[in-house]
Chains A and B, each alone.
Chain A
Amino acid sequence: MTEAKTSSRALIRAFVAVALVFLLTAALARAEPLTIKIGYVGRAEKKATISLLDYPPDNDGVAGTRLALDDNNTTGKFLNQHFLLEEVRVKDGTDPADVVLQLADRGISFFIMDLPADMLLKAAEAGRGRDLVFFNAGAIDDRLREEDCRADVIHTAPTRSMLADGLAQYLVFKRWLRWLLVAGSHETDKLFADALRRAAGRFGARIVEQRVFEDSGGARRTDSGLVQIQRQIPLFLQGAPAHDVVVAADESEVFASYLPYRTRDPRPVAGSAGLVPKSWDAAHDQWGANQLQNRFMQLFSRRMTALDIQAWSAARMIGEAAARVAAGDPQTIFAYLKGPDFALAAFKGQKLTLRDWNLQLRQPILLADGRTIVSVSPQEGFLHQFSELDTLGIDRPETKCRLK
């Protein structure tokens, strides 16, 4: 009798326990996922390019963000987290403050930005005091990480000096030490030329001469333009001192792509054409990159660009932090990203981390010739006491950044 009672009591207890577990599980399953909203603020204009192959796709950058959101949401399935994206385009030269504030009013705290430096600074200033976190995915200006650095802007785009240093290390490894530097006449071209000069000085190359290719405002696409170009380029380069390589600084896409195979002397071209330093390339397939490229191709039916990976990295940083801290608020996520445990796996063969003095994402630089990845910098032998990735770009002891 007692035994029967005990066992029936045990049965009831077991039943209640099972029911409780069932209810709890059901409640958990129904719990609203933690929703994290990300804003993408990009440029309305697209830059003109010499080659049709380099013409930026309409969804350049934001496509990378979308893929990262897919990746975050697959992980989010297991963590009850969900990521949403809102995309806005702004015209060059306009004030992005309203755009940022409107998005912030809609509950967005994380902004992935592809804007020119001045517009980015205005956008961030508009959000001051509202606990917004900005990811600069587009602007490569060193000053954004130096004198104009901000405590609320993380940079996933590499800097001009990182790109120039990545290229310079390889040219020095090749012992192509005599550079003929050709720069465009626009401001950004001059900045890249400055970075290349600095790189030459740091790593032991010599600039034998500098020339400026004036942009006279011609169209990039003309019928029978080729006939003229193959005569103009050798004329422009003639009479230069002996050099191993022609290094071009032409972010404005005015002339650099016309240099290869048209130089006066048979010399390789590097910089803005020929061997190009960049954060990503359509041909990059090492360290698992092939899988990312495949996922991207399946979604967007095109190849992934440097801007795509820079935006992907930003959105993945948010997803990675949210998974680690099990939270979606900007303070907690930002604190994790700035902390010692943060590392991003981004298909570059080693972990990417943040430089704590200016919030720049450390990253290897790919050297691409348009068909394959020729090399990846830092090159072997360029040593550093903390991280060899810090041989690329402006390092801690030289920084002008005071985060605020």
Chain B
Amino acid sequence: MKSNHLSTVMPALGKAMWRCVSAGICVTIAFAGDARAYKAYVSNEKSNTISIIDTAERKVVGTIKVGQRPRGIAITKDQKYVLVAVGDDDTIQMIDTTSNKVVDTLPSGPDPELFTDDPSGRLLYVANENNNTVTIIDIERRARLGDVEVGVEPEGMGLSPDGKILVNTSETTNMAHFIDTATRQIVANILVDARPRFAQFKDDGSELWVSSEIGGTVSVIDPVKRAVKRKINFTVPGMRQEAIQPVGIAITHDGKTGFVALGPANRIAVIDAATHQVQKFLLVGQRVWHMAFTPDEKYLLTTNGVSNDVSVIDVAALKVIDTIQVGELPWGIAISQR
């Protein structure tokens, strides 16, 4: 799920509104009712559908039929398309956000899973699990520009805020590969714990977080030194260590709070992103996988695969406030900017 990489970059309107809100004025203008309505798109891996959630009403308002095994999902910067990797069809489908219909496809490599776009919104970087490559796609021309060879089973994709370094994680090689986006060459390889799933930069580019599903840790990487500076461990009382499987990561814009989905531990870990200490665990649905903030960062929505639902977390209160039933095995989530 690349959604939060895309959705964290705010278009002009959203940014203005955010300033408005953080300055404590014109709140009433910005918000009609208790929360602005955004659309959250949830990929249901087993149903082969996308559930559309209205984030203000907190209910499913539409379902889109897509290809086989939808997982990675994101919205283009211009908000015109929802992109969804349909791995078993070896392609990425483009859903028109106005008509909610699949209108086109992008030429990824075999079994695409996660992807991220560049700051201009022109290029898409795709991890293809089946052939150890990252594919670069021109979104506008729907054309494949080239491939970068990486480790075994590429999965997580993160782009530095300045767009210069693309990070790909490879699940069996257990590395974060740093790729120079200008030369498309690997410039560094950093070993992390077993089965790295997701890569997330802080908005200021000061840290890169990489989750290791089987290793059970999050590696905090210094992107300048290109070295792991610390590892975050998780101990849930009464829970066996093997069940703690970190996957999705989200970090607030101010870089102060991190959220990590712990898979079959059914919890989201809340982390003080300055000290890297775990503050608390939020009990969500079963096998929580990925997550995305609403653009105002009031809410964090998580996909809970085994319980077929989405949990809504109040970010300020750090409480789970609602659960929304979606399709079967919800996997990824992306939230619109308006």
Contact at B242–A291, with CB atoms within 8 Å?
A: no
A143 at the interface (CB under 8 A from B): no
Q: How far is the CA of A384 from the CA of B213 in the complex (A)?
A: 22
Known: A343-B215, A345-B194, A350-B245. A75 touches B151 (CB 8 A): yes
Contact at B152–A71, with CB atoms within 8 Å?
A: yes
Contact at A78–B151, with CB atoms within 8 Å?
A: yes
Q: Within the complex, which residue of B151, B171, B191, B216 is in contact with A351, where a contact is CB–CB below 8 Å?
A: B216
Q: Within the complex, which residue of A78, A288, A343 is in contact with B186, where a contact is CB–CB below 8 Å?
A: A78
A329 at the interface (CB under 8 A from B): no
A250 at the interface (CB under 8 A from B): no
Q: Within the complex, which residue of A291, A295, A351 is in contact with B194, where a contact is CB–CB below 8 Å?
A: A351
Closest residue of B by beta carbon distance from A388: B240
Residues 171-201 of B, flagged 1 when their CB comes within 8 A of A and 0 if not, give: 1111101000000001001010111000000
Give chain B residues whose Cβ lies under 8 Å from the Cβ of A320: 174, 194
Contact at B152–A345, with CB atoms within 8 Å?
A: no
Give chain A residues whose Cβ lies under 8 Å from the Cβ of B117: none
Residues 347-362 of A, flagged 1 when their CB comes within 8 A of B and 0 if not, give: 0011100000000000
A51 at the interface (CB under 8 A from B): no
A79 at the interface (CB under 8 A from B): yes
Closest residue of A by beta carbon distance from B153: A291
B304 at the interface (CB under 8 A from A): no
B105 at the interface (CB under 8 A from A): no
Q: Total contacts A to B, CB within 8 angstroms?
A: 70
Q: Within the complex, which residue of A74, A288, A388 is in contact with B242, where a contact is CB–CB below 8 Å?
A: A388
B337 at the interface (CB under 8 A from A): no
Known: A288-B153, A343-B214, A350-B243. A78 touches B193 (CB 8 A): no
Contact at A345–B242, with CB atoms within 8 Å?
A: no
Contact at B194–A343, with CB atoms within 8 Å?
A: yes
* Majority secondary structure, B binding face: loop
Most chain A CB within 10 A, of B132, B172, B175, B243, is at B172
Contact at B129–A291, with CB atoms within 8 Å?
A: yes
Give chain B residues whose Cβ lies under 8 Å from the Cβ of A365: none
Give min CB distance, B192 to chain A, whole Å. Answer: 11
Give min CB distance, B226 to chain A, whole Å. Answer: 13
Closest residue of A by beta carbon distance from B194: A345
A89 at the interface (CB under 8 A from B): no
User: How many interface residues does B have (CB within 8 Å)?
Assistant: 30
Contact at B175–A345, with CB atoms within 8 Å?
A: no
Q: How far is the CA of A320 from the CA of B152 in the complex (A)?
A: 13
Contact at A291–B111, with CB atoms within 8 Å?
A: yes
Closest residue of A by beta carbon distance from B193: A343
Give chain A residues whose Cβ lies under 8 Å from the Cβ of B172: 71, 75, 316, 345
Closest residue of A by beta carbon distance from B132: A74
B307 at the interface (CB under 8 A from A): no
A372 at the interface (CB under 8 A from B): no
A389 at the interface (CB under 8 A from B): yes
Give chain B residues whose Cβ lies under 8 Å from the Cβ of A78: 151, 173, 175, 177, 186, 189
Known: A75-B152, A75-B173. A345 touches B214 (CB 8 A): yes
B241 at the interface (CB under 8 A from A): yes
Cβ < 8 Å to B, chain A residues 288-318: 288, 291, 294-295, 316
Give chain B residues whose Cβ lies under 8 Å from the Cβ of A351: 194, 214-216, 242
Contact at A288–B171, with CB atoms within 8 Å?
A: yes
B130 at the interface (CB under 8 A from A): yes
Give chain A residues whose Cβ lies under 8 Å from the Cβ of B240: 384, 387-388
Most chain B CB within 10 A, of A288, A295, A320, A324, is at A288
Supplied contacts A71-B152, A320-B174, A350-B242, 13 more A-B pairs, CB within 8 Å: A71-B173, A74-B132, A74-B173, A288-B171, A294-B130, A343-B194, A343-B216, A344-B214, A345-B171, A345-B195, A345-B214, A351-B215, A389-B242
Chain B residues at the A interface, C-beta cutoff of 8 Å = 111, 129-130, 132, 151-153, 170-175, 177, 186, 189, 191, 193-195, 213-216, 240-243, 245, 264
Chain A residues at the B interface, C-beta cutoff of 8 Å = 71, 74-75, 78-79, 288, 291, 294-295, 316, 320, 323-324, 343-345, 349-351, 384, 387-389
Can you list 17 residue pairs at the A/B interface with Cβ under 8 Å?
A71-B172, A74-B132, A75-B175, A78-B175, A288-B171, A288-B195, A291-B129, A295-B130, A316-B172, A324-B191, A343-B193, A345-B194, A345-B195, A350-B242, A351-B242, A388-B240, A388-B242
